[in-house]
Amino acid sequence: MRTSMLRSIKSLTTSPSVHILRRGYSSEAVPLRKVTVLGAAGGIGQPLSLLMKLNPLVSNLALYDIANTPGVAADISHINTRSEVVGYASDAELGKALEGADVVIIPAGVPRKPGMTRDDLFNINAGIVKGLCEAIAKYCPKALVNMISNPVNSTVPIAAEIFKKAGTYDPKRLFVAEVNVPVVGGHAGITILPLFSQATPKANLSDEELTALTKRTQDGGTEVVEAKAGKGSATLSMAYAGAIFADACLKGLNGVPDVIECSFVQSTVTELPFFASKVRLGKNGVEEVLGLGPLSDYEKEGLEKLKPELLSSIEKGIKFATQ
pLDDT digits 0-9 by tens, 39-57: 999 999 999 999 999 999 9
More confident residue, 250 or 6: 250
Q: What is the DSSP letter of 78?
A: T
Question: Which residue in 187, 278, 307, 316 is the catalytic one?
Answer: 187
Element (H, E) at 309: helix 297-322
Whole-number pLDDT of residue 225: 83
Q: For the chain, state the CA radius of gyration.
A: 19
Q: What is the pLDDT of residues 56-89, one digit of tens each?
A: 999 999 999 999 999 999 999 999 899 999 999 9
Rounded CA gap, 239 and 76, in Å? 15
What's the CA gap between 257 and 242, in Å, rounded? 20
- Rounded average pLDDT over 233-251: 90
Q: What is the structure's pLDDT at 4?
A: 36
- Which three-class secondary structure state does DSSP give residue 224? helix
For residue 111, give Cα distances in angstroms to 103, 221, 300: 23, 11, 32
9 within 8 A of 24, measured Cβ to Cβ? no
Instruction: Please report which helix (H) or strand (E) contains residue 181, including its range.
Output: none
pLDDT of residue 117: 81
Q: Is 187 a catalytic residue?
A: yes
Predicted model pTM: 0.80
Average pLDDT, the chain: 87
Percent of the chain with pLDDT over 90: 69
pLDDT tens per residue, range 107-165: 999 887 888 888 888 999 999 999 999 999 999 999 999 999 999 999 999 999 999 99
The pLDDT of 164-184, averaged and rounded, is 83
